[in-house]
Structure 1
């Protein structure tokens, strides 16, 4: 997901956004597995490490944080046509996701 570390994913993102529609289950699964899953895994690792350091509550929903972060970064790609930089990723994590995870709402348990 970081422009500085990975090859261009623009064509895959375009293919993924058009392909994951349910019209072609094998293609949908391939896009989820090859495009989205590796990026979610990176974000889940980031949040799990933050949780170990006490930056994310122990009852924080790591999978939800990862999916939300990926959605925000994916939206940036769709709206601007540009891949997120390491700075963009850090900003989404520090300015949106970590503050949102600080006080989970007890009405919506994980």
Structure 2
């Protein structure tokens, strides 16, 4: 996997932690970040308690918005493999206070 396509260093490190099942993933976020999955609000910590290290990008196809929007092919456990987006929202302290994920076209 070529993480170098992700130009925002914090996003890159967070995605690497996610894929390695590294709990440092949580350190890139505020205490209670907002999260949506296909437009539906979900609990960030509950969601990643199951997904951390189990779900991962198979390819990074496109990166936009100063490296904070990542699109690619994603293996989502029992739900299969499909195109997704992860949109990270970074606050002034450099932490992510919101994450929007969902299926991409």
Please report the TM-score for the alignment, with normalisation by the length of structure 1.
0.29
Structure with the larger RCO, 1 or 2 (CA within 8 Å, 6+ apart): 1
Of Structure 1 and Structure 2, which has the larger fraction of its residues in strand?
A: 2
TM-score by length of 2: 0.30
Which structure shows the higher helix fraction? Answer: 1
